[in-house]
Amino acid sequence: MAGVNAATGEQLRAIARLRWLLFVNSLRSVRGRLNLVSRSIAGLFVVAAGVGGGIAVGAGAWAVMMENRLVWLAGLFWLIFLFWQMFPVMATALTQNVDASVLLRFPLKYSAYFLVRLIYGSMDIATALGLCWCTGLFFGISIARWTLIPWALLILVIFVAFNLLLARTVFAWIEHWLSTRHSREIMGVIFLLMMLSIQVSGPVLGRFGSRPSAQRLRVLSKYAVVERAFPPGLAAAALSDFAEGRGQGAILPLALSVGYVGLVLVLLDRRLGRQYRGDNPSFGDKRQDLSNLAAVRRGWRLPLFPTSVSAVFEKELRYFSRSVPMLFTMIMPLVVIFVMWGGRRGLLSSQAQFLFPIGAAYSLLIMTNIVYNSFGGDGSGVQFFLVSPVPFRQVALAKNLAQLSVFLMDVFILWIGIRFIYRPPNLRVSIFTFAWCLFAVPLNFSAGNLLSIYSPKRIDLATFGRQRASEATILASLAVQITGVGLGALAIYIGKLASTLWAGSFMLFGLAAITIPGYVLLLQRMDRFALQRREVLAAELFRT
């Protein structure tokens, strides 16, 4: 057994080397090289957002310190905290969790496993930007008051540790909770309650917004006590205390911050510890239903479509319904509307009508993974499509129909949400949104079908953070979506110029007259594309 208990450091080095070799070997293929280019371009955006955001946050912190408006410090900490924790969930297309559980077959020590999960899990955009912004915050504070350098450093290290651990903990636990049908149902109820609470909170906040400003300030100061009970508020409170020379007063918020880090560490340790001992999440229920032979139910039938299209459509919807991360993502447009909403007198209240097209555009954006990598979730099942006598265009059509159903359902939920939070979108805006969808959906589906065949990547629809398509696909899909949204914005502008939104809608109907035949034309060529790419499709999606 000599050598089995290799040192943890050696194991970590081996894993790092493995990842490096995987990266180097990926460059052998054209797709791998394209991914590197895409990653570099995306990296530029991340660097810009990191540096730009860091400078902005730093300037904000500097101004707060110079003008001695320390109460605003909490805002900066909350901004970083909310982005760090919410971005990975809201933009799963840009987030990826590395499945480190495959390493458990090796004699990996728990400490090494924990570190690997933490380090590789933290290699995402949210962490990179969060770290940049925290650095900006540190420099802003330090330049304004150099005497605060050690305290700012200490507080920010604790804050960063908390965010790193919390992000991993949330993913680890959600993954676990969603692994069984029972807990999925509980989570479903929680989501439902969340949606209801959004509707209830509308009138409450509206009433609050109509109060006199003195009264609002009094209420806000009451809630500030609550805010200070959480890590961003605690970090800001500790820093304010040090800045005002009340070092002793900072001890409690500092201690509580450390306590939060400890709590999150324990929670993460509990989950990873169980995973390490073999309790890995699976998207299937291990239930043993020993009831007697159940007659096999007949499949669904889509009127006007061949049986094969109905069969694939049914299969796709069953897949979506069993992917809770996908369902979770679907309610995100509502959450975004809530986040953007600042009450009836808030940021968007004057333009509330346009929340409907904005929400529809976001609904299409969050479908990137399933539209632009539509075979990714099938894994080796794609071989079945390739050996079956069904033309590939029918498979693609069925997948698009299923995606369209999900999109329409999402838009419908959105409409309900907007109707309750604000008022029903008026006819002009509804027609405008319809026209935009008529133009943008075929555009996205056409590009999605092509990229699904030319840049496939095996994904796990059932596990949080493992739905990301290839980098090349993400970049191309973003380009298509920016075009779609840009033309939508242009249509609004034209509507404003013409003093009627109908002009914008007319323009979008015109564009739809191009994208719909384009989609049909492309669909007819899908058999040829699939034939050309069948080996890559089968090989890429068979890969584990």
Partner 1 sequence: MEPAILTEGLTRRFGDFTAVDGVHLLVVPGQFYGFLGPNGAGKSTTIKMLTGLMSPTAGRIQILGLNLATHPVEVKRQIGVVPEGMALFGRLTGSEYLNFAGRMYGLDRDTAAQRAAELLDFMQLSDQPKTLITDYSHGMQKKLAMAAAVIHGPKVLFLDEPFEGVDAVASGTLKSMLQRMTSHGATIFLTSHVLEIVERLCTHVGIIHNGRLVAQGPIDELRAGVSAGGRQTKITLEEFFLQTVGGANKEAQELSWLG
Residue among 435, 431, 430 at smallest CA distance from 419: 430
The residue type of 2 is: A
**Half-sphere exposure of residue 465: CA atoms within 13 angstroms, side-chain side:** 28
Tell me the site size for partner 1, rule CB under 8 A: 51
Query: In the window 496-535, what residues touch partner 1 (CB under 8 A)?
Result: 531, 534-535
Minimum Å gap between C-beta 295 and partner 1 is 6
Q: What x/- string results for residues 458 through 487 when contact with partner 1 is judged by CB under 8 A? A: ---xx-------------------------
Binding flag, residue 427, partner 1 (CB under 8 A) = no
d(CA 411, CA 367): 12
One-letter amino acid of 7: A
Cβ 15 to partner 1 shortest distance, Å: 25
Binding status of residue 197 toward partner 1 by CB under 8 A:
no
- Minimum Å gap between C-beta 530 and partner 1 is 11
Nearer to partner 1, 170 or 536 (CB): 536
Under rule CB under 8 A, residue 29 binds partner 1: no
The residues, ordered by sequence, that sit 6+ positions from 64 with a Cβ below 8 Å of its Cβ are: 70, 72, 73, 76, 144
Of 214 and 290, which has the nearer Cβ to partner 1?
290
Give 173 or 283: the residue with its C-beta nearer to partner 1. 283
Q: According to the binding rule CB under 8 A, does residue 381 interact with partner 1?
A: yes
Torsion region of 379: left, alpha or beta (phi above 0 gives left; psi -120 to 50 gives alpha): left
Here's the x/- map for partner 1, 308-347, by CB under 8 A: it reads as x-xxx-xx--xx--xx------------------------
| DSSP H or E run through 509 | helix 501-524
The pattern of x and - marking residues 272 through 311 that bind partner 1 according to CB under 8 A reads ----------xxxxxxxxxxxxxxxxxx-x-----xx-xx
389 lies in the binding site for partner 1 (CB under 8 A): yes
Which residues ranging from 241 to 260 are in contact with partner 1 (CB under 8 A)? Answer: none
Question: Running DSSP on this structure, what letter comes out for residue 100?
Answer: G
- List of residues 6+ apart from 61 with CB closer than 8 A: 73, 76, 136, 137, 140, 141, 144
Question: Which residue's CB is nearer to partner 1, number 106 or number 384?
Answer: 384
- State both tokens at 416: 């309900």
Give the integer Cα–Cα distance in Å for 411 and 357.
Answer: 9
Helices (H) and strands (E) in the chain, counts: 21, 0
CA distance 95 to 89: 8
> Is 25 an interacting residue with respect to partner 1 (CB under 8 A)?
no
**CB neighbourhood size of 217 (10 A):** 11
The smaller minimum CB distance to partner 1, of residues 222 and 297, is found at 297
Least distance (Å) between residue 333 CB and partner 1: 25
Contacts with partner 1, residue ranges (CB under 8 A) = 282-299, 301, 307-308, 310-312, 314-315, 318-319, 322-323, 377-384, 386-391, 461-462, 531, 534-535, 538, 542
